[in-house]
Amino acid sequence: MIPDHLFSPHFPFFPEQASTVAWQVDALYFFLVALTIFFTVLVSAMVIGFSIKYRKEKNPVATQIEGSVPLEIFWTVVPLGISLLIYVWAATLYFHMERPPKESMQIYVVGKQWMWKVQHPTGQREINQLHIPVGRNVRLTMISQDVLHSFSVPEFRVKHEVIPGRYTELWFQATKPGTYHLFCTQYCGTKHSGMIGEVIAMDPNAYEVWLSGGTEGGSLASTGEKLFTSLGCITCHSGESGARGPNLNGQFGHPQKLSDGTTVVMDENYIRESILTPQAKIVAGFGPIMPTFSGQVSEESLIALVAYVKGLQPAGSTAVPAAAPAKQGKTQ
Ligand code: HEC
Ligand SMILES: [Cu+2]
C-alpha cells in the first residue's frame, strides 16, 4: 500500500484528500495524466524531430518502407498492455468503491429539489449537513423524492447518483476531521447550484457526544414501528402463525420464496417495493391482498419503515434490535 501522505500535502488545484479512497482515485488520475503527457510529448517530439531529420534538402528521394512485422507487434502489444493495465486498475478501484464493507454504519439520505435530508438510525435528522465520525466506514443509502440528483463529496473523491424510485448506495471512510463540501452534481432544476451542504467529519469521541443529542423523536426504527402500527401493517404482519401476511421477523438478508417459484433476497429495495407495489412480487403461500401504500408514505417514512422491518428479530431471539447497535456504532 502506498502511504496516505505520498500525495499530500496535496497538489494545488486539487481538493484535500480526506478519505481512504481519495489517494487511490488521485493515483489513477495522475497516472492517466502522466501517460497522456508522456505520449503527447513523445509524438510531438517525433513529428518535429523527423520533419527536421528527413527534410527535403537532405532527402530529396523518399525511401519506401513496405512494412515491418516486429514493429507492428510492438505498437500493438504495448498499447494493449497499457490499456489492460488501466482497465484492471480502474475496475479494481471501482469495485472497491461500489461495494460497501460489511462493517459500515448506515445513514439514510433523501435528495429533493433542492436540499439533502439526512436521517441517522439513532434518530437525528439533518438538512444539508451530514455529521460522521472519522475512521469508520459510513454507508449512505440514498433516494430522491423527485428528480435525478447526485451526491458528491470532492474531498472524499466519492460521488453517486441519487435517483427516484430506488435506493442507491455510497460509502466512504473519512480520514481527517473537518468540514467538507457536499454538492449535487446532477443538474436538477433552477436552484441546482444551491443544492449544497457540508459533511462534518468528527473525531469519534466528539461524534459520540453529537450522537447523544437530538433524538427526541426516538430512533429511526422506533419511528418505523409507530408507522407500522398506524398504517395497519401490524394487522396483517403480526408475526403470528395464521396471520394474513408473512412473518417479517428475521427475514432481512434472507431469500424469500415467491409464488412464481423464484426467490428474492429481502433488502432495502425489496421492502420498499413490497410497500409501494405489493403485487410486483407475491410471497409464496399468500394471496395478493396487501394494499398499495403508494402516495401515502413519504420517502422518509418509507426509510423509517425499512429500518424497522430490517431490524425485526425472529420471535424468541435475544438479539438486540437494529436501533441499539447503531448507538454502539455497529449497524450493518
Ligand atoms: C391486508 C393485509 C396487509 C397489510 C395491511 C400489509 N401487508 Fe404487507 N403483505 C401482506 C401479504 C398477504 C403479503 C404477501 C403477499 C405479497 O407479497 O404481496 C405481504 C408482503 C409484505 C412484504 C414482503 C414480505 C416477504 O416475506 O417477502 C413486506 C416487506 C410487507 N408486506 C410490508 C408491509 C408493510 C410495511 C405494511 C404497512 C405499510 C404492510 N405490509 C401492510 C399483507 C398485508
Ligand atoms: Cu440536485
CATH number of the structural domain spanning residue 50: 1.10.287.90
Residues 193 and 227 in one domain: no
Nearest ligand to the CA atom of 195? 2
pLDDT of 321 over the 70 cut: no
Ligand number nearest to the C-alpha of 114: 2
205 and 109 in a common domain: yes
The three-state secondary structure class of 88 is helix
> Which residue from 233, 257, 270, 301 has its CB within 8 A of the most atoms of ligand 1, so it is best to mutate?
233
**Substitution candidate for ligand 1 out of 231, 236, 299 with most atoms within 8 A of CB:** 236
Chain mean pLDDT for the chain: 88
Picking from 71, 80, 326, the residue whose alpha carbon sits closest to that of residue 218 is: 326
**pLDDT-derived band at 323, boundaries 50, 70, 90:** very low
* Contact of 139 with 100, CB cutoff 8 Å: yes
Residue 139's domain comprises 105-211
pLDDT at 319: 47
3-state helix, strand, coil in the chain (%, to 5): 40, 20, 40
Residue 163: CB atoms within 10 A of its CB come to 17
pLDDT band at 57 (very low <50, low <70, confident <90, very high): confident
Instruction: Work out the pLDDT band at 316, boundaries 50, 70, 90.
Output: low
Residues 241 and 199 in one domain: no
Number of structural domains in the chain: 3
* pLDDT > 90? residue 203: yes
pLDDT-based confidence at 30, cuts 50/70/90?
very high
Whether the predicted pLDDT of 326 surpasses 90 = no
φ, ψ of residue 151 in degrees (nearest 5): -95, 120
Mean pLDDT score, 30-52: 96
The C-alpha cell 528521394 sits at: 61
- pLDDT tens digits, residue range 95-128? 999 999 989 999 999 999 999 999 999 989 999 9
Ligand 1 atom nearest the C-alpha of 293 is 38
User: Does residue 266 have its Cβ closer than 6 Å to ligand 1?
Assistant: yes
pLDDT band at 2 (very low <50, low <70, confident <90, very high): very low
In terms of domains, do 247 and 182 share one? no
Instruction: For residues 131 and 37, give the distance between their C-alpha atoms in angstroms, rounded to a whole number.
Output: 40
Q: What is the pLDDT of residue 317?
A: 57
Q: Is 138 a residue whose pLDDT tops 80?
A: yes
Strands 196-202 and 129-133: parallel
Q: Ligand 1 atom 6: the closest Cα is on which residue?
A: 233
Task: Pick the ligand that lies closest to the CA of residue 190.
Answer: 2
Per-residue pLDDT of 214-230, as tens digits, reads 777 788 998 999 999 99
Residue 172 in this model has a pLDDT that exceeds 60: yes
As a whole number of angstroms, the distance between CA 7 and CA 74 comes to 33
Give the environment of ion ligand 2: residues with CB less than 5 A: 149, 184, 188, 195
Instruction: Report the share of the chain in percent with pLDDT over 70.
Output: 91
C-alpha to C-alpha distances, 209 to 121, 131, 133, 323, nearest whole angstrom: 15, 11, 11, 17
Distance of CA 286 to the CA centre of its chain: 34
- The preferred substitution site among 274, 281, 306, 310 for testing ligand 1, maximizing ligand atoms within 8 Å of CB, is 274
- Highest mean pLDDT range out of 65-74, 77-86, 120-129? 77-86
Residues 87 and 132 occupy one common structural domain: no
> Which-ligand-closest: CA of 301?
1
Among 107-111, 211-215, 296-300, the range scoring the smallest mean pLDDT is 211-215
Which residue, of 98, 115, 143, is where some domain finishes?
Answer: 98
* Distance of CA 242 from the midpoint of ligand 1 (Å): 14
Q: Is 307 in the pocket of ligand 1 (CB under 6 A)?
A: no
